[in-house]
Amino acid sequence: MIRPAGVLFAAALLVGALPAGRLAQAEETLVWLEKSSEGLVSIAYGPVDPAETPLFLLSCFDAMGIAVLDVHKEIPDAKPGEPLTIELSAGEAKASVKGETARDEASGVAFGEASDIAVKPILEVLRAAGPLTIAMGKTSATLSEQGREQAVAKFSQDCRLD
C-alpha cells in the first residue's frame, strides 16, 4: 500500500527527473488568443494566463472608434513618451505604426505603444504566412504563426474599425 507521503515523494522524484528546459517551456508557452466583450475586441500573443501580460496586444475599442497596439518587449534605455516606430512584417507583408514608449508601472520595463491606429494594415500583416517579426529600433521579437490565422479571422469579424 502506498501512503500519501510516498505519493508525494514519488511525484517529487518524477518532477526532479524532468529536464529543467521542459518545465520552463511548459510555463512559457505563448499562443495567439482572440477575446471580445462589450465593445472591446483584442488579439494577443502571450501566455494563456490572462493575469500575465502578452507580448503583442492589438485592442479594438469599437464604441470609441480607437485601436491600440502594445508590444511588451523591453526597450533598453527608453524613456516614457519617446517617439518610436513599430515595424511589423510576415512573409512579404509589412506595416509601420508610429507610437511611443510607455513604462509598465509594475515591472518598470519600457515597451512600445501606439494609439488611435489604423487596423487594416496590421491585419494584412497578421494574415500573411510565416512568423510575425516586430521591430522597435534595436529591439525585435519573432512570434509564431501557429494559431494566428484563426485568431485573426475571429478578430476581423468582431472589430469594425478600418
Instruction: Answer yes or no: is 2 within a domain.
Output: no
| Residue 57 domain boundaries | 29-158
Instruction: Answer yes or no: is 98 within a domain.
Output: yes
Instruction: Answer yes or no: is 9 within a domain.
Output: no
d(C-alpha 140, C-alpha 84), whole Å: 13
pLDDT tens-place string over residues 32-41: 999 998 889 9
Residue 63: give its domain's CATH number: 2.60.40
Q: How far is CA 129 from the centre of its chain?
A: 18
Q: How many domains does the chain have?
A: 1
- Note the pTM of the prediction, 2 decimals: 0.81
d(C-alpha 130, C-alpha 148), whole Å: 10
Which amino acid would we find at residue 104? D
Instruction: Answer yes or no: is 134 within a domain.
Output: yes
d(C-alpha 156, C-alpha 90), whole Å: 18
Instruction: Answer yes or no: is 107 within a domain.
Output: yes
Instruction: Answer yes or no: is 23 within a domain.
Output: no
pLDDT tens-place string over residues 87-96: 999 999 999 9
